[in-house]
Structure 1
Amino acid sequence: MARPIWTGTLSFGLLNVPIRLMTAERRVDLHFRMLDQRDNSPIRYERVNAESGEEVPWKDVVKAFEYSKGSYVVLDEEDIRSAASESHETVEIDTFVEAGSIDPRYYEKPYYLVPAKKAEKGYVLLRETLAKAGRVGIAKVVIRTREYLAAVVPQGAALLLVLLRYPQELVDASDYALPDKPASSYRIAPRELAMASDLIESMSGEWRPDDYRDEFRDKLRKAIEKRLKSKGVTATVEEDEEHVAEDAATNVVDFMALLKKSIAGKKRTPAKAAKKTAAKKSGAGKGGAGKGAAKKTAAKKDAGAKAARKATRKAAAGRRRTAG
């Protein structure tokens, strides 16, 4: 079963509906791996230090903004989190607009809003009201580390959350040399317009998405199946577990834990919060030097272990070539 992107609340007015944010699209692309044609071994992309040429482990990778060529300002995760809205697990509707008033260029990516158990009443109330009024809700939502503009749209039995682009993300049509004069300026005769209208009318029909298929993907899959049945199929190569992204994690949020955390946050007094901040700063000052030395020692051990693993892989590749 698909996992939720996060679990939180759909809010409008004084009504709050517990919901789960679920993906509404399915990736069907055919993914390819690049191999070394000499022995069909997979080619890996490594995080390499541009100065030393050494591989950098995930734990030592930080995010930075290049404010001028070769000059960076480093940000930590707290900087990024603090820039986002405080309502990380809330779809808070700000206003309701006519469904047809949103320019199609703004629509980006759909999600399903799924009601939690015993939250169906508020969910259905909003869905039916929006459908009857022909309106959609405009909201802001934080997904992972970015705040998005979104539209809450009724769609059959579901409420869709469709991410929207911000105006500054769109290119203005005036940036391009488009034919923006009246049709008569391009010597288009009334008879030609009438014939084009008749052609469109003769080709008109109902929108049936199931009538369309990705023919390129179908042909490519057949080519893969044909190649599998022929000679020269590469052998299976087991990859090291170390190359799985060390920062890979699910984005599942436990709803009850979130509620408890919210309640605890509301009870915390400003004085206690200030003490906690001071304690964090004090701890960082005392343990900074020790942590730095520990990191250097761990880095040396990590480099030695990786060098040994690389030597082992080279020897194995040599044996395969000799055997071939």
Structure 2
Amino acid sequence: MRAIWKGAVAFGLVNVPVRLYAATGEHEVTLHQVHAADGGRIRYRKVCSVDGEPVTMDEISKGYETADGELVVLTDEDFARLPLATEREIEVLEFVPAEQVDPILLGKTYYLEPDKTAAKPYALLRGALEEADRMAVVKVALRQRETMAVLRVRGKVICLQTLLWPDEVRAADFPVLDADVTVKPAELAMAQSLVDSLASDFDPSQFEDRYEAALTQLIEAKVSSGDTRSLPQPAAPEGGEGGEVVDLLAALQRSVEKARSARGETPTDDGDDAAPAKRATKPRTRKKPADDDAPEPTRKKAKAKAS
């Protein structure tokens, strides 16, 4: 496992350095949304609702919409100024009887691993919780959010289990529950008999996720029978590497055509517009050199004839 947090448990004058690990991990068969026609993955992009343009993560801020339709944009600097409990300390506030913690408040569970140098104070805290049969109510900051939690013992490890805030638990406001219902003693006795017949010690290992097992068997059967297809290769996106090559060639071709047009030239007959054009030429007549411009032997012959 990989530690997701490192700090210390502080109760009284005792400080226990610890590392935090996620104690649970839900698992399921991973399925993707694909295009039924060709098997292509369905992707989701972050797009601005105003201009329709894709937005990168560094362009995204958090916002709050007021009741009258106004928008408040919050920056990283705004969040940095908010009061938050120290990110490296689990402060013990009180110790309460375990039965007083309503299970509906319990959230995610983490394991606390002590540093090697903190094995003794860790064992001290664990033993105190076990002897008193109590939970330690604490405050801790996880992922930039302050939360309440409890410390409880599970075997040899101390667990930190987050709690919901009281206003996060909804009220069960169902008028039908206030109706007068008469339960006959015989009916209650029969229900109690059913409870007794199914009474047992809880062992979660006796249960399994039948849906996941059936889904796994279905996938394995399709693989065994060859009912599969090759993963499709996505086309090169516009502006990607392939697009850049095409755009470059097109730009070069337009440049060649523009240069030819400026010189009054026409494309070559072989249709290869990308090839350099040959300059159009006219037949040239050889100009007879004047005596002064003639080569040295020529001038000598001319002087001899004149004499």
Q: TM class, shorter-chain normalised? A: 0.7 to 0.9
Name the CA shift for 1:238/1:77 in 2 (closer, same or farther; >3 Å): farther
1:8 aligns with 2:3: no
Aligned to 1:208: 203
The CA distance in 1 between the partners of 2:69 and 2:11, in whole Å, is: 46
What pairs with 1:157-236 in structure 2 (closer than 5 Å)? 157-173=156-172, 175-180=173-178, 185-236=180-231
The CA distance in 1 between the partners of 2:47 and 2:150, in whole Å, is: 41
How well do the aligned residues superpose, as a CA RMSD in angstroms?
2.4
The CA distance in 2 between the partners of 1:124 and 1:239, in whole Å, is: 56
What pairs with 1:99-110 in structure 2 (closer than 5 Å)? 99-110=98-109
**Larger helix proportion of the pair:** 1
Aligned-residue offset at 1:111: 0.6
Aligned-residue offset at 1:11: 0.9
Name the CA shift for 1:172/1:40 in 2 (closer, same or farther; >3 Å): same
What pairs with 1:255-274 in structure 2 (closer than 5 Å)? none
The CA distance in 2 between the partners of 1:125 and 1:239, in whole Å, is: 59
What pairs with 1:117-156 in structure 2 (closer than 5 Å)? 117-156=116-155
SS of the aligned residue for 1:17 comes to strand
The CA distance in 1 between the partners of 2:117 and 2:134, in whole Å, is: 25
Aligned-residue offset at 1:86: 3.6
Aligned to 2:284: none
Name the CA shift for 1:306/1:77 in 2 (closer, same or farther; >3 Å): farther
Name the CA shift for 1:207/1:9 in 2 (closer, same or farther; >3 Å): same
Aligned-residue offset at 1:145: 1.8
Q: For residue 19 of structure 2, what is the amino acid of its counterpart?
A: R
Aligned-residue offset at 1:135: 0.4
User: Percent identity between the aligned chains?
Assistant: 32
Aligned to 2:56: 57
SS of the aligned residue for 1:123 comes to helix
Moved more, 44-53 or 126-135: 44-53
Q: For residue 179 of structure 1, what is the amino acid of its counterpart?
A: L
SS of the aligned residue for 2:167 comes to helix
Q: For residue 5 of structure 2, what is the amino acid of its counterpart?
A: W
The CA distance in 2 between the partners of 1:3 and 1:51, in whole Å, is: 41
Aligned-residue offset at 1:72: 1.6
Aligned-residue offset at 1:106: 0.5
1:309 aligns with 2:254: no
Aligned to 1:276: none
Aligned-residue offset at 1:219: 0.7
**Runs of 5+ consecutive residues of structure 2 not aligned to the other structure:** 247-307
CA contact (8 A) 2:93 2:137 kept: yes
Cα displacement string for residues 11-62 of structure 1 (whole angstroms, at most 9, x for unaligned residues): 1111110000100001212222111223211111001111221111111111
The CA distance in 2 between the partners of 1:153 and 1:199, in whole Å, is: 33
Name the CA shift for 1:219/1:160 in 2 (closer, same or farther; >3 Å): same
Aligned-residue offset at 1:306: 7.0
SS of the aligned residue for 2:189 comes to helix
Name the CA shift for 1:78/1:121 in 2 (closer, same or farther; >3 Å): farther
The CA distance in 1 between the partners of 2:237 and 2:85, in whole Å, is: 41
**Runs of 5+ consecutive residues of structure 1 not aligned to the other structure:** 241-304, 316-324
The CA distance in 1 between the partners of 2:35 and 2:243, in whole Å, is: 18
Aligned to 1:285: none
Aligned-residue offset at 1:215: 0.8
Task: Specify the structure having the higher radius of gyration (Cα).
Answer: 2
CA contact (8 A) 1:84 1:147 kept: no
The CA distance in 1 between the partners of 2:241 and 2:51, in whole Å, is: 17
- Superposition TM-score, scaled by structure 2 size: 0.74
Structure of higher RCO (CA pairs closer than 8 Å, 6+ residues apart): 1
The CA distance in 2 between the partners of 1:306 and 1:83, in whole Å, is: 42
Q: For residue 100 of structure 1, what is the amino acid of its counterpart?
A: E
The CA distance in 1 between the partners of 2:214 and 2:191, in whole Å, is: 34
CA contact (8 A) 1:84 1:146 kept: no
The CA distance in 2 between the partners of 1:102 and 1:56, in whole Å, is: 44
